[in-house]
Amino acid sequence: MYKVEEGKIQLENGSISEGLIAIASGKGGVGKSTVTVNLAISLAKAGKKVGILDADIHGFSIPRIIGLKDEAKTKDNKTIIPPKSFNIKVISMGSFVDERNPVVWRAPLLSGALQQFMQDVEWGELDYLLLDLPPGTGDMALDIMQNLPHAEVLVVTTPQPTAVHVAGRIGKAAEKLDVDVLGVIENMSYFRCDDCGHKEYIFGQGGGKDLAKELNTDLLGQLPLDPIARQASDDGLPIVEAKKELEISKVYKKISETITSKNTEFDPNKKPISLQNGPACH
């Protein structure tokens, strides 16, 4: 599917020089896709070239959150030129199944979509490729990790202790599959009171910190619960773009700085298992 050469991941139609980051969670609805988009834009604002591969084949939501308007186009019916939004190259199943958008390229088979997205998309020279994984620790998420051994897993969790438990499973799987864990992001950590500014810990506390400790990794940041951010997501205008002065946007900025300051080296001895029939589709 790709090879590592001269310190870069060399794709069929592009390269990744700084990080292949898989955003994962133990369960659905914790804000994975929202985090993927806002992190991608924060990295782009820091001058990085960023792509998003929406690997949530069935439940894709990246196009809506990032306000993607353009369609994927094909070059000679062989490769796909990914559309851009806020300077992020985006590829998603959503680019192929829209009824108003006649399929410009043979729609990827669900089972082979990941491989096709990695190989046939004209990613060009990227610094970071972010993958929004399907929720949970199902076959799909595990298969993706297994086939992308150079991916680093970024686990998104909510702060309650039960969430830590499920999110922990994906971290354990990463360990077993010999994929590195980049860190933990705790989302919806607290609500900042409009009147006095105190933090209200609606969902409890400590989950992200405990999980990071359990996985022997860092808690990269705690994002507040912010209704304005939710609205921004629904409107396709991500919060770091819409309101960069907000606390949540500053936390995103800090997380992206932590990520860019890490020096990732892709191990040329780790080999991706080429997908035979694509990841199992459940």
Ligand X SMILES: Nc1ncnc2c1ncn2[C@@H]1O[C@H](COP(=O)(O)OP(=O)(O)OP(=O)(O)O)[C@@H](O)[C@H]1O
Span 14-73, contacts to Mg ion by CB under 5 A: 32-33, 61
Buried b (16+ CB within 10 A) or exposed e, 88-115: bbbbbbbbbeeeeeeeebeebeeebbbb
Binding flag, residue 92, Mg ion (CB under 5 A): no
Position 187 contacts Mg ion (CB under 5 A): no
C-beta of 192 vs 243, nearer to Zn ion: 192
d(CA 147, CA 110): 16
Query: Residue 38: which of 156, 122, 153, 117 has the closest Cα?
Result: 156
Residue nearer to Mg ion on the CB measure, 33 or 95:
33
Q: Is 168 annotated as a binding residue?
A: no
Of the candidates 20, 81, 154, 188, which one interacts with ligand X according to CB under 6 A?
A: 188
User: Which residue has tokens 């105190």?
Assistant: 198
Q: How far is CA 121 from CA 51, 62, 63, 85, 277, in A?
A: 11, 17, 16, 16, 19
Q: Applying CB under 6 A, does 20 fall inside the site for ligand X?
A: no
Q: Is 254 annotated as a binding residue?
A: no
DSSP-derived letter for residue 111 is G
- CB of 191 or CB of 243, closer to Zn ion: 191
Q: For ligand X, give the closer residue by CB, 11 or 211.
A: 211
Q: What would the two tokens of residue 47 be?
A: 């001058």
> How many angstroms separate the Cα of 44 from the Cα of each of 85, 128, 156, 184?
11, 9, 20, 21
Q: Which is nearer to Zn ion, 67 or 224 (CB)?
A: 224
233 binds, among Zn ion, Mg ion, ligand X, none (CB under 5 to 8 A by kind): ligand X
Q: Which amino acid is at 210?
A: D
| Residue 29 assigned ligand-binding role | yes
CA-based nearest residue to 63, from 100, 32, 104, 95: 95
CA angle in degrees (0–180, nearest 5) for 198-203-55 = 120
229 near ligand X (CB under 6 A): yes
| Residue 66 within binding range of ligand X, rule CB under 6 A | no
CA distances for 281 relative to 13, 57, 113, 187, 266, angstroms: 26, 9, 10, 28, 28
Task: Select 43 or 166, whichever has its Cβ closest to ligand X.
Answer: 166
Give CA angle at 109 (103, 113), nearest 5°.
95
Please list every residue from 127 through 146 that binds ligand X, using CB under 6 A: 135
> Least distance from C-beta 30 to Mg ion, angstroms?
9
222 binds ligand X (CB under 6 A): no
List of residues contacting Zn ion (CB under 5 A): 193, 195-196, 198
By CB under 6 A, which span of 26-34, 100-108, 118-126, 268-276 interacts with ligand X?
Answer: 26-34
Our finding on whether 233 is near ligand X (CB under 6 A) is: yes
Binding site for Mg ion (CB under 5 A): 32-33, 61
Binding site for ligand X (CB under 6 A): 25, 28-34, 56, 59, 61, 135, 187-188, 223, 225-226, 229-230, 233
Annotated binding site for ATP: 26-33
